[in-house]
Amino acid sequence: MDTIDRILKLMENQQMRQSDLARIAGARSSSVSDWFNRKSASYTKYLDKIAKHFNVTVDYLMTGEEPVGKLPQGAIPVDASKFVKIPVIGSVRCGEPMLAESNIEGYEYTYIETLRGGGDFFYLRAKGDSMINAGINEGDLLLIRKQSDVNSGDIAIVNINGDEETLKRVIKKDMAIILQPENPIYETKIFIGKELEHIHIQGRLMNVVKKF
């Protein structure tokens, strides 16, 4: 169940129509229709008003993890307009290369200031332990900005031979690319000459969301 599903359930409990929700949120009826048809995520700008009407928290609407009810005394309200919904796409193994799953397994609401520099972003879920010395552990969410090149020293998702993807620190040398793990028990891989034709950078690691 996602945010829209939770809003729909609350609307059903009050026998509300989409036009009623549009009036409550102060949004256009066409925009509300796009929300429920999964054509737009602009509803994030209106979650404060929607949550207030249904007497729930914004966190409940976004995650379903907060209990229904008023904000606890002393709690700081969340400004939903400062968050965007980023897809979580499959996973990447930080030990050995693996195929990244192409389907979206969920969404993570991300503070807009985190998306510095703009661009297209997605999350991958880390597996393995080859990047532990860079603070990346099994289960962490990796915020990736899509880009086909990175600076030497950046950590990136790299596609190898068209079907293998791995997370490594990219070191650039003359006519060579080094994929360096951050765990001494794993081997550093060096690609030179024509081997470089099989190395394709998919995106740069921008942030790590710790999962405990």
Structure tokens at 18: 């989409």
Q: Please state the three-class secondary structure of 41-74 as a single string.
A: CHHHHHHHHHHHHHCCCHHHHHHCCCCCCCCCCC
Contact present, 93 and 108 (Cβ < 8 Å): no
209 within 8 A of 157, measured Cβ to Cβ = no
Q: Which residue of the set 29, 33, 81, 130 is catalytic?
A: 130
Three-state DSSP at 108 gives strand
The yes-or-no answer on residue 168 being catalytic is: yes
Contact predicate 95/88, CB 8 Å? no
For helices 29-36 and 18-25, angle between their N-to-C axes, nearest 10 degrees: 120
User: What is the residue whose two structure tokens read 């070191």?
Assistant: 171
Dihedral of alpha carbons 40, 46, 47, 49, sign: negative
Whether 146 sits among the annotated catalytic residues: the reply is: no
- Spatial contact of 135 and 208, defined as CB atoms under 8 Å apart: yes
Q: Residue 170 and residue 148: Cα distance in Å, rounded?
A: 12
Q: Which of 29, 168, 194, 211 is catalytic?
A: 168
Residues involved in catalysis: 130, 168
